[in-house]
Each structure stands twice: as structure tokens, then as C-alpha cells.
Amino acid sequence: MATIQITDNVGLSADLEIRDDSPLAKAGLTKLVSTAKQLFDDFGKPIDQSDAESFALGGTFTSPNLLNSDVSSIAASAGINCGLSVAKAADKLLFPDDGLSPKIPIDANQAWVGVEFDLSGSIDAATTVNGIGISFDASLKFTYSTYTLFSPAAGPLPSLKDACTTAFQNFSMATSAAALRNQLPGTVNVAEVSGSVTVGVSLQLPFTMNALASANLPLNKTASIQPSVTVEVAPSVEISGDLLVRAWKVSDDQLVFGVYKARGATLSLSFTAGAGIEGDIGATDVLGKILNSALPGVDVTAAGIAGDNAGALNEAIKDGLDRSLSAQMNAAFSVSLTDEAAVLYQIKLDPSMAIDDALGKALHGDWTQLEKNSAFNLPARSGAFATSQSRPWKGSSRST
């Protein structure tokens, strides 16, 4: 067994014995420093009788890169780099209710203990390692948390010290499909980072052509087109900003996996290259859809909208849609100080390799395969964007 000493560096200390094969033991977490006397006072009490809520600690690692082998390099931040939190029945929910995600209720004789670390990491694009669910440049700083449920069938809840031992032992990083499969039931893994994700959505957006009258058009003309057009597109879009990736292992074969807006964050959205124009205007291009809706049967080539002109006009329309989508998305997140789901899936972890492939891509920031493979995936309702395949959550906690 590996030992983690929690101390105030003066006179108070307690030892937590965790398995040698646990991630934190492999990473060489040997010491945690806390100045909170309350933590030591409550160690011997059952969780539900303790006053503990949250504490900041400083952890000492010898080999933080061994936290998870699926990311090229991981380092622990210096100083105060660890958080410990306790949620009890009085809190009612583990996370605030966003009205979209399945609730994680805390019933009587239940409690959750969360362990969080401030980390930095890098992913080598030349290797086959996965990521944390967000696309980012070569390196990043992020926080990673594991929450563990304590729900004894009978008898009292464990002491705070024993619960902390289990919680530190259960800490894991869901950075590959295999890691998601091996994540313990009754745990929630959360990564928080600034980056981007690509998701597949079906959208119906009103687009007023008269807005082009003031645009800097490549035709040296002004546009005066009266119809208000509804554009139907099914592209991939990129969501950028401060995001959370949350993996809740409900049971051995049930995973709730999603991307959330971080508290207080403002997100931006843009169409990916697949929604743009490549050469001639086609039926699936943004510009082509708008013109064909507003002016059925128009000969766009005869009108001089081709080549560079078409590309410039398409880009102007795309920028307008990007701004409109970003505004709609942020408006859809009604309460800026709570986490709300942007995309959310309930996944049945059967033996299919297709599931592992889709999960691996999602861990690199590309969530489009989870949307396409509805055969093995039961989508919960997407947060800001309800997709054509999405169905209401049918879990035991709540239908949305």
C-alpha cells in the first residue's frame, strides 16, 4: 500500500493508505499540506456528521506524468494544487440543475467526496494517445476531478478519513476509451479547460437577406433582396471557450458523457470548413442554400457570383451566421453562473469497437461520431443545440 500523508506542517497529520496500482500512487503523491484544522477535527466523524465542505491542499508528487499514460505529458502545478470537497444529502444534488442534464441526486445516507488537481499537459499529435475531450494546442493547463459516491446499503456512512482514502484511491483520468470503460461505477470524472470541441448539429436559422445591403460585397453593388430566408443546414460546428467534459459512470455499461459550459463563461461558435464553399456553389453550401431559397432557379454563374466573388460572399454570410449562432447559444445558456450542457450523451458500453473509436475521437475534441452513431448511443437532449436525433433523457432521475 502507498501512503499519502496529510499534514499542517506543524503538529497535525493523518496517513491515507491507498492501493499501489492506483493512479495517484503511481504518480508518487506522498504528501498533502492543509492549514484547515477543521479537516483534521472531522477525520474521525462519519461524513454526514462532519462539517467538512471544501478544502485547499498542496500536493507533492514525484512522478506526476504517471497519472495517466494516455496523455503524452502531465505535470502538477506548484503550491496549492489540490481541492477536496464533500457533498451530503442536505446539498440534494452533486451539481447544480441546468434543466438539461440528468440530475445526480444525493439521497439520505449518501455522500460524495471529490478530489481535484490543477495540472498541465501536452498531447503529441504523432502518437496514438487520446486526450481529455477538448481540442487544444500543444500544451494546456487544466483541472481534473474525480467524485466518488458513498451509499452503504445499511449502516452508517464511513468516516471522513476513510472516505478520503477511497476518494484519493479512486481518482482517475478518463483520457481513452479503455479508461472510460474502466472508470468505476458511482464515480464522475470532470476535466475543465479552455479549448474547443467540434460537434454535429442540425439547425434551422432565419437569415434576412436585406442584411447584405450594407455588406462589403465583391460585386461593387448593393443588395436589396426582400425575402427572409430560413436556412436549413446540418454541418459540424466548433464551440470554443471555457469548457467542462464530464463522464458519469452510472453502471458498468452505462456512461453519461458530455461537454458543458464552465460557470460564467461566454462561448463562441463557428462553422467548420465542411460548411463552407469549395469551388462552384453547390446545394450544401451556405451561400448556395440561401440564394436558392431566396431566388429559386437563380443562375448564380450568370449573375457573376463565382470564383473569388462567390468565396468572399460566402465568407461574409458565414461570418454573419457565426455571430448569430454564438449569440443564440449564449442566450440559450440562461444562467451564466451555472454549468450547462452543450452536448450530452447517454452511452451503452457494449463490446463494439465502433463505440471505442467514437469515444476516442470525442476525447480529441471531435464529438461528431457520437452524433452519427445513434445505433449504440442514446442522445440526451443537447444543451444549446437540440439535434435531429436527440431524444429526451429517459433515466431514473428526470425527463427533460
Contact 287, 197 (CB under 8 A): no
Higher-pLDDT residue of 148, 9: 148
Phi, psi for residue 307 in degrees, rounded to 5 = 55, -130
Higher-pLDDT residue of 290, 50: 50
Res 216: pLDDT: 44
Of 67, 68, 84, 93, residue with least CA distance to 32? 84
For cell 461505477, name the residue.
185
Of 222, 205, 204, residue with least CA distance to 213? 222
Question: What is residue 58's three-state secondary structure?
Answer: strand
Res 65: pLDDT: 83
Of 52, 65, 62, residue with least CA distance to 91? 52
Please check the confidence at residue 249 and state whether its pLDDT lies above 90: yes
Contact 201, 237 (CB under 8 A): yes
**Structure confidence by residue, pLDDT tens digits, 279-294:** 334 444 555 555 555 5
Res 72: pLDDT: 67
Sequence-distant (6+) residues with CB within 8 A of 296 are none
Question: What is residue 94's three-state secondary structure?
Answer: coil
Please check the confidence at residue 360 and state whether its pLDDT lies above 80: yes
If one counts every other C-beta atom within 10 angstroms of the C-beta of residue 9, the result is 11
Please check the confidence at residue 382 and state whether its pLDDT lies above 70: no
If one counts every other C-beta atom within 10 angstroms of the C-beta of residue 83, the result is 16
- Cα(246)–Cα(147) distance, integer angstroms: 11
DSSP state of 366: B
Please check the confidence at residue 161 and state whether its pLDDT lies above 70: yes
Question: What is residue 128's three-state secondary structure?
Answer: coil
Contact 266, 330 (CB under 8 A): yes
Contact 242, 265 (CB under 8 A): yes
If one counts every other C-beta atom within 10 angstroms of the C-beta of residue 293, the result is 16
Res 144: pLDDT: 93
Higher-pLDDT residue of 328, 204: 328
What is the reported pTM?
Answer: 0.75
- Cα(146)–Cα(397) distance, integer angstroms: 21
Give the pLDDT band (50/70/90) at residue 137.
low
Tell me which long-range contacts 287-290 makes (C-beta under 8 A, separation of at least 24).
Answer: 287/313, 287/314, 287/317, 289/231, 289/232, 289/233, 290/207, 290/209, 290/229, 290/231, 290/317
Contact 196, 134 (CB under 8 A): yes
Residue length of the chain: 400
Question: What is residue 222's three-state secondary structure?
Answer: coil
Sequence-distant (6+) residues with CB within 8 A of 373 are 354, 355, 358
**Structure confidence by residue, pLDDT tens digits, 200-238:** 544 444 444 444 444 444 444 444 444 444 544 445 667
Q: What cell numbers appear for 261 in the block?
A: 459550459
Query: Strand 73-76 vs strand 82-88: parallel, antiparallel, or unpaired?
Result: unpaired
Phi, psi for residue 170 in degrees, rounded to 5 = -85, -10
Question: What is residue 67's three-state secondary structure?
Answer: helix
Res 332: pLDDT: 55
Return mean pLDDT, the chain: 74
% of residues, the chain, pLDDT over 90 = 33
- Cα(84)–Cα(50) distance, integer angstroms: 14
Res 136: pLDDT: 61
If one counts every other C-beta atom within 10 angstroms of the C-beta of residue 127, the result is 10
Contact 35, 8 (CB under 8 A): yes
If one counts every other C-beta atom within 10 angstroms of the C-beta of residue 243, the result is 24
Output the CA angle 78-83-85, nearest 5 degrees: 175
Q: What cell numbers appear for 267 in the block?
A: 462561448
Least confident span in 66-75, 143-152, 265-274, 379-388? 379-388
Domain ranges for the chain, please list them. Answer: 2-194+245-261
